[in-house]
A and B are shown apart, each in its own frame.
Chain A
Amino acid sequence: NAGVMQNPRHLVRRRGQEARLRCSPMKGHSHVYWYRQLPEEGLKFMVYLQKENIIDESGMPKERFSAEFPKEGPSILRIQQVVRGDSAAYFCASSHSGTGTVQETQYFGPGTRLLVL
């Protein structure tokens, strides 16, 4: 029973390039959450998606960042024209049902560590 998978685990990009981070939720989970952890800071919520829908993107930067969770395949967090300040650990979590059920457990992936040179 594989957990939440993220790839790549480490990603190095030069300023101006695009970064694509992938997240495969646990089997049977249709809710995905993306979080960012900047150095020495706590985890910060970015976006919450269900299959083909963005439910809450209140934590997403207004520019350069986008997320999708297509009907088939993993969820993708895309960062266009990366800057050094984008260097962080990006975590994905999934749950069986949404946060409408407050106690629903989110299972976290190992994270993708993005380094922008």
Chain B
Amino acid sequence: KQEVTQIPAALSVPEGENLVLNCSFTDSAIYNLQWFRQDPGKGLTSLLLIQSSQREQTSGRLNASLDKSSGRSTLYIAASQPGDSATYLCAVYGQNFVFGPGTRLSVLP
């Protein structure tokens, strides 16, 4: 059974800092891994999708890496802004979508 964990559970940083969110999964038989953002009152927003054959993806200030063999992914956020405050979810897609519990990020102005 696939299990996904995320560290840290919560993070508070001053504006402008670079930060790293971590995701681990137990079963490497996945099609892809996605990072999502969740804001109150909204559905999930997909940030980055990494196919199982890829090692990283970049979008703007976001960079996600995937090491399938070790069951790890990281989301790097450069020059954080208060608008980045949200919960960040990692999800792997194998038989089904399995989500991690999320990292709650607060970026202080």
Residues of A within 8 A of B (CB): 33, 35, 40-48, 55-56, 58-59, 91, 98-103, 105-106, 108, 110
Contacts and interface: CB of A to CB of B under 8 A. Distances in A.
B87 to A, nearest CB: 5
Closest 10 CB pairs of A and B: A45-B43, A42-B46, A42-B49, A108-B97, A43-B46, A102-B87, A48-B43, A33-B43, A42-B34, A102-B40
B69 interface: no
Interface residues of B, number: 23
Max count, chain B CB within 10 A of own CB: residue among A41, A43, A108: A43
B96 to A, nearest CB: 6
B19 interface: no
Interface in B42-60: 42-49, 51
A51 to B, nearest CB: 17
B101 interface: yes
Contacts of A101: 40
Given A42-B34, A91-B97, A106-B99, A98 B41 contact: yes
Contact of B41 (A44, A45, A47, A56): A56
5 contacts: A33-B43, A48-B42, A56-B41, A103-B87, A103-B101
B41 A99 contact: yes
Max count, chain A CB within 10 A of own CB: residue among B43, B45, B104: B43
B48 A100 contact: no
Given A103-B101, A108-B96, A56 B34 contact: no
